[in-house]
């Protein structure tokens, strides 16, 4: 509509004014209209750019580069869950012994590795750091893959007893040649389940605290 009115405004003076003044009138009109368009473009442009930046930022802070989710960590020994769990068939609890009784799942000591590796692959150079650790009686320094900030309280045994599977939180560990973190472990990730735990777990008749309590700040921030 604005454009139509602008056009008819141009055509009326055009027919009435003497020939020689016409170009400047037309020029003025063109100039006015284009600045108008220009300012509109720049306002929409600014809004668009801000929206785009917010989107890019949002995508960026959730990307593996920033969250380090799904990024394989360097380890002192290239330990493969794929080999030991899917291949050999060792149960998670053989190595992560405290996962059912305590808040902490536990990382196996060198002794656990040596139960087998004093015989299997006993001369493998790949396993030298394990043998050195055993000989010198000092722990292997595994790089943490999942690590919540200290102000968050988390307990494995509660989750495991409620029937939340390791894979629900950790992904397909038994398929990982090197371990990566499947989920961000951001607050929103915890809350997504705490709001509707029945969607994620087989409760089999056990009752679960109402979502109101599970989303209470003080259960995770004590
Ligand atoms: C033979 C011993 C062994 C078995 C069996 C085993 N793990 Fe592990 N696991 C380890 C070792 C060693 C590490 C530390 C190195 C690493 O992160 O890969 C580890 C690391 C992990 C981590 C990451 C720990 C962190 O730093 O956050 C998770 C999660 C995990 N294991 C889950 C599982 C699950 C689930 C199973 C069963 C499907 C399993 N593990 C079976 C030895 C084992
Ligand atoms: C129950 C026996 C057993 C235990 C416990 C065990 N391993 Fe193994 N591991 C094996 C066997 C068997 C192989 C050979 C796998 C193959 O050739 O497919 C192997 C292979 C390996 C290899 C060679 C690379 C690979 O994954 O094939 C590494 C490294 C290794 N183990 C590290 C460890 C570490 C570290 C631990 C302790 C956290 C450990 N293993 C505990 C049985 C075990
Ligand atoms: C409800 C989600 C959830 C479930 C289910 C779960 N974990 Fe974890 N796991 C976590 C979180 C979160 C951490 C990081 C804890 C921290 O930093 O304090 C973690 C850490 C670990 C670690 C590193 C050592 C530690 O205890 O911090 C291992 C190993 C591990 N989990 C193994 C397992 C195994 C094996 C199972 C299944 C028997 C399992 N987890 C089930 C969420 C889960
Ligand atoms: C897949 C679902 C799931 C995820 C993901 C999950 N939880 Fe839970 N959480 C549960 C269930 C189910 C319970 C047990 C509720 C009950 O006992 O009634 C629970 C209980 C808890 C409790 C104990 C509450 C109490 O009564 O003392 C804490 C603390 C907790 N979760 C922390 C966390 C944190 C922190 C995270 C994220 C790092 C997390 N949870 C992720 C399902 C989940
Ligand atoms: C189910 C567990 C859980 C509950 C319930 C929970 N939080 Fe968190 N919160 C977390 C985790 C996990 C983190 C760490 C996230 C990270 O690594 O950045 C966190 C981080 C935070 C942070 C640090 C800033 C941030 O976002 O990383 C603040 C502030 C916070 N929570 C406030 C609250 C408040 C307020 C409530 C109640 C409305 C609440 N939380 C309820 C798990 C929880």
The whole-angstrom separation of Cα 127 and Cα 96 is 20
pLDDT of residue 72: 86
pLDDT tens-digit series, residues 132-191? 999 999 999 999 999 999 999 999 999 999 999 999 999 999 999 999 999 999 999 999
Q: State pLDDT tens for residues 178-212.
A: 999 999 999 999 999 999 998 888 665 566 666 67
- Say if CB 85 and CB 92 are below 8 A apart: yes
pLDDT of residue 98: 94
Contact 195, 84 (CB under 8 A): no
Q: Which amino acid residue places its CA nearest to atom 13 of ligand 3?
A: 146
| Per-residue pLDDT, 41 | 72
Report which of residues 23 and 103 the model is more confident about: 103
Q: What is the distance between the alpha carbons of residues 179 and 132, in angstroms, rounded to a whole number?
A: 22
pLDDT over 80 (residue 30)? no
Ligand 1 center from residue 80 Cα (angstroms): 9
Task: Kindly state if the Cβ of 147 falls inside 6 Å of ligand 4.
Answer: no
pLDDT one-digit tens code per residue, 60-119? 776 666 677 788 888 999 999 999 999 999 999 999 999 999 999 999 999 999 999 999
Question: Which residue from 185, 189, 184, 190 is spatially nearest to 62, judged by alpha carbons?
Answer: 184
Q: What average pLDDT score do residues 19-46 get?
A: 61
pLDDT value, residue 170: 96
Contacts of 64 (CB under 8 A, 6+ apart): 70, 71
Cα distances (Å, whole numbers) of residue 180 to 101, 166, 170, 190: 24, 14, 9, 18
- 75 Cβ closer than 6 Å to some ligand 1 atom: yes
Ligand 5 site residues (CB inside 6 A) read 148-149, 152, 185-187, 190-191, 194, 215-217, 219-221
**Tokens in use for 110?**
């060198």
Residue 198 pLDDT: 87
Whether residue 22 is predicted with pLDDT greater than 80 in this model: the reply is no
Is-contact 171 190, C-beta < 8 A? no
CA of 212 to the centre of ligand 5 (A): 15
Structure tokens given for 175: 């398929």
**Distance of alpha carbon 155 from the chain centroid:** 21
Tell me, using a 6 A CB cutoff, whether residue 160 lines ligand 1: no
Q: How far is CA 172 from CA 101, 117, 141, 146, 220, in A?
A: 23, 25, 23, 14, 26
Residue 180 is predicted with a pLDDT of 94
What's the gap in Å between 184 CA and the centre of ligand 2? 28
pLDDT given at position 3: 46
């Amino acid at each position: 509509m604005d454009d139509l009115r602008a056009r008819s405004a141009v055509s009326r003076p055009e027919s009435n004014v003497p020939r020689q003044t016409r170009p400047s009138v037309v020029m003025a009109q063109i100039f006015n209209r284009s600045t108008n368009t220009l300012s509109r473009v720049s306002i929409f442009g600014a809004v668009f750019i801000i929206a785009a930046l917010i989107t890019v930022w949002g995508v960026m802070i959730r990307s593996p580069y920033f969250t380090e989710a799904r990024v394989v960590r360097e380890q002192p020994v290239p330990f493969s869950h794929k080999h030991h769990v899917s291949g050999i068939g060792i149960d998670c609890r053989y190595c992560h012994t405290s996962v059912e009784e305590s808040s902490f799942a536990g990382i196996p000591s060198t002794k656990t590795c040596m139960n087998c590796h004093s015989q299997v692959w006993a001369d493998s150079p790949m396993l030298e750091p394990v043998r050195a650790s055993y000989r010198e009686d000092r722990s292997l320094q595994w790089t943490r893959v999942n690590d919540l900030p200290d102000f968050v309280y988390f307990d494995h045994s509660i989750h495991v007893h409620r029937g939340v599977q390791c894979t629900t939180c950790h992904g397909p560990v038994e398929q990982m040649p090197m371990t990566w973190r499947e989920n961000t472990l951001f607050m929103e990730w915890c809350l997504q389940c705490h709001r509707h735990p029945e969607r994620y777990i087989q409760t089999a008749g056990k009752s679960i605290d109402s979502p109101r309590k599970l989303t209470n700040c003080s259960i995770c921030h004590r």
